Amino acid sequence: MAEPTSKPSAAERKRALEIVAELYRLYPDAKCSLDFTTPLELLVATILSAQCTDVLVNSVTPALFKKYRTSADYANAPLEELEQDIRKTGFYRSKAKHLKDAGQMLVERYGGDVPRTMSELTALPGVARKTANVVMGNAYGIVEGVVVDTHVGRLARRLGLTTSEDPVRVEQDLMALVPQKDWLPLSHMLIYHGRAVCQARRPLCEECTLVALCPTGQANLAAAPAPIPAKTSKKSRSAKD
């Protein structure tokens, strides 16, 4: 795994901890947004969430989880049928193949169970570090890294916690700044903040309580045009005179 971009200073760690503290205040109940009841369901939902919103995934999975209850169900599913069952999530052909192949591997290597280690999970089709971190952290309570999705990567850069576009490098930079006990909550809280305030197209810097700690927010506010003062009507001027 990649090393951090650079070793953080004490000041950088202090600022990161201040950001984390404010995120805890804003989102005390932040949690995984994907609906699941078993590690297999979370694995499937996370694979489906690639290039797709969690809301859309959650609209597809109730029927999917009712139909496919075990790893063997995915392994034995006709590929074309599985494609149609997940079609709404996009990229459904590759996702269906990943689900079917992962189901087969789970049956053959792990008795149908979802493994608990990074190396075993990332060996599954369609599973990279992000998915493995989601499953390990939320299904098993095993935290070995930070979940870096598009929201987390975007906010980490805007907040000046990393300069990298590479998710693995971003993860390493965040791990170097924040204590391990905060790695999983940080992911959830950044995702919440990315949806509510620090949106991709137009971050709501003027409403953000993190702006004093955010170099991007401060730059955006400094560059914003000054409000145009309201014109005083003739009637108003006459009354004042």
Active site residues: 130, 149
Specify burial of residue 175 (Cβ count, 10 A radius: 0-12, 13-18, 19+).
middle
Q: Which helix (H) or strand (E) holds 92?
A: helix 92-110
- Cα separation of 176 and 170, whole Å? 10
The two tokens of residue 27 are 């989102």
**3-state DSSP: the chain helix, strand, coil percent, rounded to 5?**
65, 0, 35
DSSP label at residue 182: G
The two tokens of residue 23 are 């995120």
Residue 88 is which amino acid? Answer: K
Residue 179 is which amino acid? Answer: P
Residue 59 is which amino acid? Answer: S
**Closest among 18, 15, 25, 13 to 178, alpha carbons compared:** 13
Contact 211, 193 (CB under 8 A): no
